[in-house]
Structure 1
Amino acid sequence: MDMIWMTLILLLVLLALLGVGLWVAFALTAIGCIALFFFSGIPVGDSLATAFYSSSVSWELAALPMFIWMGEVLFRSRLSEEMFRGIAPWVGKLPGRLLHTNIVGCGIFAAISGSSAATAATIGKMTLPELDRRGYNRNQVLGTLAGSATLGLLIPPSIILIVYGVATEQSIARLFVAGILPGLMLMALFAGYVIIWSLLNPKGAPAGESEKLSFVEKVKRSKPLIPVFLLIVGVIGSIYTGLASPTESAAVGVALAHLLSIQSGSMNWKTFQSALMGTVKTSSMIAFILVGASFLTSSMGFTGIPRELATWISTLDLSPQMLLLVLTLFFILLGCFLDGISVVVLTTSIILPMVQAAGIDPLWFGIYLVIVVEMSQITPPVGFNLFVIQGLTGENILRIAWAAFPYFLLILSAVILITIFPEIVTYLPSQMGN
């Protein structure tokens, strides 16, 4: 009972600190200090210094700014201008036609940026004006963009998977590979829904707009995308085959991204500076949160709360499926108020011991957690994708949330599918060996 009261007190203090607008990193550090000072005999200063140093020198963490830099460079290249023109010929004959450009475009850019918000902003700038001009159903245009942009969290190289890997000491390479099939499955679910909806609502996707093109002509129109596609395959392929670690692949990816940008004529001193500054800002924010989370994890370990909480949960005799149901509801609720990275770093130190005690694979749980966090990106009041799209369109955020609701259900169905068939997550990592 003491453990429950300690947990509730710390949780309420954390919510209060976040509620008054304190930065997540400071809030996490403050809770760690309070936990050590009141609930353990460990010196706060020594523990703080040790946790800050040990978490900031992690070699795996070096991949984070590299992948962010790669995305920042390609974000500022002419890729965004060419993507719509390159994808459109391939989807023009499918039911739903150019609505699929949102899905495919988000899937491609997710493999570049690793960020959900950046994916929504980039693809939205390209497709929204064009789809509106052609008379596509407004709700479907908004929904496909909001839902598909969540792929930025899952399809490797995913920033949030790096955060989870560092926080839980899981292999980032195996996490990346584990995210490939679930990411493709989500794209297939989104595309299937658009096809079914379009067959039932033919006026929502105007006909007679697509040209009859030969295969060679389609390839010619997609030519600007081929180097980027090869870059993605090279980065992920080198990790999968064991030729390079995620950090090494990220470094190569950055170099190739700069070469592509120079070759396309979009790289200049101003672009280089803005990409570098964007990388520094994003990387610093995430690294700062990770340092605070590392200290909180260390502090919680000294108090014994995670161990006692896991023991208490085990006495409830919950089945793994029931535990996952409870956690899914918990993460969806938490995601209504926090961004995805904050959800991961706030919960892993407490949740992971319970998950492992229930016999759930931490690698599988990482993909499950990211998919659940994806749902929070399109749920009000703090759905970041909703805010991004509202900024692009000026639409009421509740209308955007309603348009995205079918995709929320599709992501939820993906959670159910990987629970019933965990091999969707574990098959590719199992083929990597040790």
Structure 2
Amino acid sequence: MTELYATVIFLLVLFLALGMSVWVGLALMGVAWVGMELFTARPAGDAMITVIWASSSSWTLTALPMFIWMGEILYRTRLSEDMFRGLAPWMRFLPGGLLHTNIAGCTLFAAVSGSSAATLTTVGKMSIPELRARGYPEHMIVGTLAGAATLGLMIPPSLTLIVYGVSINESITKLFMAGVLPGLVLAGLFGAYIVGWHFAAPSQRPAPEPAMPFRRMLAESRFLLPVLALVSVVIGSMFFGWATATEAAAVGVIGALLLAAAQRSLTWGTFSAALMGAVRTSAMIALILMGAAFLSLSMGFTGLPRALAAFIERQELSPITLIAALTAFYIVLGMFLDGISSVVLTIAIVEPMVRAAGIDLIWFGIFIVVVVEMAQVTPPIGFNLFVLQGMTRHEIGYISRVALPMVGLMLVMVVILVAFPGLATWLPEWVAARR
């Protein structure tokens, strides 16, 4: 009965705070403070200071601002224009044509960004004007870009995976390796959707691209070399065990600075804007993590996570049934919270349930990223929808409709992960075995 009373109090205070537009991190701290005052005899202030310091002084967490800074630097270079020039010659012959640059561009930039919004903005800047000029249908331009940009949450370095790993004290490098194959499979599903559109709607195809000599195609590909080199260094250093996630992030920042300098776009204004952008984003995520850590402590005193885990265990739910329920739960939650907030808000309760069901936590991290990706393109709080609205001037409702098939493909990806769990667990195990 105490657990039920605590649950009601926690939810009421949380929804009240969020409804008043209080920052998510402060809302979590407020809920935790109320819980400490009502259900424990421990001084709330001392507990908050201790847990916030412990959660924010993690060395693993250092990778977060570094990867954010790397993405911010690249966002302010000529990378987007160069990526389109390098990708376009190889995409034009595929069924669906240059629409595949949305998928390939997001996949590549996701591997050096870690942010869905940064991926969307960078690739959108290059692809939307070019695809419009060539006569591609607007619903395909906007829909495929909205979906493909979510790859920034899965393909390493993923900010969401860093937050998840810190929250459950799991290896960031293992989570990064786990995200590689599912990320490529999801990109393949998006590409297959474009191919399907090509054959299903021949009347909407634009005029074929003019022929290009093979030598010219190779010459244009040189513009991809900088970003491919950076991806290889960052991910390869973790893959071969040469660097931890934090060390790879530092290497990535240095590489991004060198790339910007080589492009002659590293001015003092660019450097300071990238640095301040990284500081703002990192501070926001850090505040959310601090609030989530304090809330986890507060709920631990009430016994709520243990009670919920015991309740799930008594129901004898199969792992598949539990995953289906959590999928529906996160889809609904994602309509009101961004991905990182959804993870840190729920992980204290969900983790014991998942452990009790015998679900691998590395696999679950990839699952949770896929369902959180849907939150980026589902109204009313889908962040990618607002970014696309600013870029295209379309209504949120229109963008949501054209992005709906991509949400369906993410649900298919959940089914694939359940049917083939080794897709997420094989590569981390293989890398660990080689070391």
Residue 91 (structure 1) aligned with residue 91 (structure 2): yes
Aligned residue in 2 for 1:28: 28
1:36–1:44 CA contact under 8 A, matched in 2: yes
Q: CA offset at residue 192 of structure 1?
A: 0.7
Aligned residue in 2 for 1:173: 173
Residue 306 (structure 1) aligned with residue 305 (structure 2): yes
Aligned residue in 1 for 2:134: 134
Aligned residue in 1 for 2:384: 385
**Structure 1 segments unaligned to the other structure (5+ residues):** none
Aligned residue in 1 for 2:64: 64
Higher mean C-alpha displacement, 3-12 vs 69-78: 3-12
State how far apart, in whole Å, the 2-side matches of 1:356 and 1:98 are. Answer: 44
2:66–2:250 CA contact under 8 A, matched in 1: yes
| CA deviation profile, 1:14-48 (whole Å, cap 9, x unmatched) | 01110110000101111111111111222211211
Aligned residue in 2 for 1:239: 238
Q: Map 1:286-301 to 2 at 5 A.
A: 286-301=285-300
Aligned residue in 2 for 1:283: 282
State how far apart, in whole Å, the 2-side matches of 1:308 and 1:14 are. Answer: 20
2:2–2:302 CA contact under 8 A, matched in 1: no
State how far apart, in whole Å, the 2-side matches of 1:46 and 1:192 are. Answer: 54
Q: CA offset at residue 117 of structure 1?
A: 1.2
State how far apart, in whole Å, the 1-side matches of 2:224 and 2:134 are. Answer: 23
Give TM-score, length-normalised by structure 1: 0.98
Q: CA offset at residue 114 of structure 1?
A: 0.7
Supply the AA of the counterpart residue of 2:356.
A
1:146–1:404 CA contact under 8 A, matched in 2: yes
Residue 100 (structure 1) aligned with residue 95 (structure 2): no
1:89–1:213 CA contact under 8 A, matched in 2: no
Q: Map 1:311-322 to 2 at 5 A.
A: 311-322=310-321
Q: CA offset at residue 303 of structure 1?
A: 1.7
Q: CA offset at residue 344 of structure 1?
A: 0.5
Partner secondary structure for residue 382 of structure 1: coil
Q: CA offset at residue 123 of structure 1?
A: 1.2
Aligned residue pairs, count: 433
Aligned residue in 2 for 1:3: 3
Aligned residue in 2 for 1:404: 403
404 and 346 in structure 1: CA distance in 2 versus 1, 3 angstrom threshold: same
State how far apart, in whole Å, the 1-side matches of 2:267 and 2:203 are. Answer: 44
Aligned residue in 2 for 1:253: 252
State how far apart, in whole Å, the 2-side matches of 1:210 and 1:249 are. Answer: 41
Partner secondary structure for residue 433 of structure 1: helix
Aligned residue in 2 for 1:417: 416
2:6–2:302 CA contact under 8 A, matched in 1: no
State how far apart, in whole Å, the 2-side matches of 1:9 and 1:211 are. Answer: 66
State how far apart, in whole Å, the 2-side matches of 1:149 and 1:169 are. Answer: 27
Q: CA offset at residue 422 of structure 1?
A: 0.2
2:89–2:217 CA contact under 8 A, matched in 1: yes
**Structure 2 segments unaligned to the other structure (5+ residues):** none
| CA deviation profile, 1:271-320 (whole Å, cap 9, x unmatched) | 11101111111111111111111111111112211001111121122111
CA RMSD of aligned residues (A): 1.1
Partner secondary structure for residue 185 of structure 2: helix
1:93–1:210 CA contact under 8 A, matched in 2: no
Q: CA offset at residue 220 of structure 1?
A: 1.5
Supply the AA of the counterpart residue of 1:278.
G
2:85–2:223 CA contact under 8 A, matched in 1: no
Residue 148 (structure 1) aligned with residue 174 (structure 2): no
Partner secondary structure for residue 400 of structure 1: helix
State how far apart, in whole Å, the 2-side matches of 1:248 and 1:385 are. Answer: 30
Q: CA offset at residue 12 of structure 1?
A: 2.1
Aligned residue in 2 for 1:81: 81
Aligned residue in 1 for 2:364: 365
Supply the AA of the counterpart residue of 1:33.
W
State how far apart, in whole Å, the 2-side matches of 1:11 and 1:205 are. Answer: 50
